[in-house]
Structure 1
């Protein structure tokens, strides 16, 4: 069976109701590695070689994080800049991640309707994250449709539970798909 690496970046995991629910729902999956960047690198000194080796060991790369000021958390940005370097993730002869799957999972504190032309954020959430499809393209990754949870702190438990079940189901589906292509 294919394996997934969840590159998880949340500077305040203990306060994240939505992300905790998602990760709790997949905690029994043995072919899924949750790699918490803030736990691993509290000093922001990223071991690039170790991170690159970890990526090579997995078939699906899941980038999971909360939305902070229309962007990813700072440590995830640092990780992206250092780990996905030329000559490893992209370049003429070195595209070591080519063919792997990539799935972006984001949680936003605001309600979904605020991410619209008429909402306070003036555009869909995906408009703020155009770099992910570009990253997938440059690194020759097969990008899956983004998974988004809105208003996580205020969502009813049953609704959050349903979202966590959808997250698990999609993750398992992507892993099965990757296994079938191997």
Structure 2
């Protein structure tokens, strides 16, 4: 069984029906660690050693966040800059993350049609994730296509519930790797 580290990175969870629902569907499991970065580091003072130990102890890194201005919330960018140190995560001697999986769990306000050529954002969602894919590759991690919940502002209760079920099934599948 794989050990999964779920970094939750949402600065205003109280405003996100979709992310609150997804959290409700997270199964309780000894090999799944839920880690809310905004709760842990409200002042952005990241405990690098603690975060590196968490990464070392897990096989899969999931990063759950909304897509903000074509990127991630600020705290996750700072987390990357602080935690993924040269000589630890990449470069000479930097092999601590080699072979681990990196996958995003993303909610977007825009629907699927907005994230394609000719759509409102004129690019597929993968294009906005290239910096994170390259970071994962630099750390010799396996970057996987994200789990998406799109059009979150317009989702019905039934569609939101369905997204929660899909998420739960994904987590169970990852734990069984």
Q: Under a length normalisation based on structure 1, what TM-score does the superposition of the two structures give? A: 0.91
Q: Measure the CA separation in 1 of the matches of 2:13 and 2:30.
A: 22
- Per-residue CA deviation, residues 127-153 of structure 1 (Å, 9 max, x unaligned), is 111112212211111222211111113
1:76 corresponds to which residue?
76
1:34 corresponds to which residue?
34
Root-mean-square deviation over aligned CA pairs: 1.3
The answer to whether 1:107 aligns with 2:131 is no
Q: Measure the CA separation in 2 of the matches of 1:15 and 1:57.
A: 32
Aligned length: 177
The answer to whether 1:171 aligns with 2:171 is yes
Give 3-state SS (helix, strand or coil) of 1:63's partner.
strand
Give 3-state SS (helix, strand or coil) of 1:145's partner.
strand
User: Does the Cα contact within 8 Å between 2:13 and 2:19 map onto a contact in 1?
Assistant: yes
Say which is worse superposed, 140-149 or 3-12, in terms of deviation.
140-149
Q: Under a length normalisation based on structure 2, what TM-score does the superposition of the two structures give? A: 0.94
Q: Which runs of 5+ in 1 are unaligned?
A: 178-182
Q: Measure the CA separation in 1 of the matches of 2:117 and 2:101.
A: 31
1:90 corresponds to which residue?
90
2:23 corresponds to which residue?
23
Q: Measure the CA separation in 1 of the matches of 2:26 and 2:136.
A: 24
Runs of at least 4 residues of structure 1 off by over 4 A?
A: none
Q: Measure the CA separation in 1 of the matches of 2:175 and 2:142.
A: 12
Q: Measure the CA separation in 1 of the matches of 2:8 and 2:42.
A: 13
User: Does the Cα contact within 8 Å between 2:4 and 2:31 map onto a contact in 1?
Assistant: yes
The answer to whether 1:59 aligns with 2:59 is yes
1:128 corresponds to which residue?
128
Say which is worse superposed, 107-116 or 27-36, in terms of deviation.
27-36
Q: Measure the CA separation in 1 of the matches of 2:3 and 2:152.
A: 27
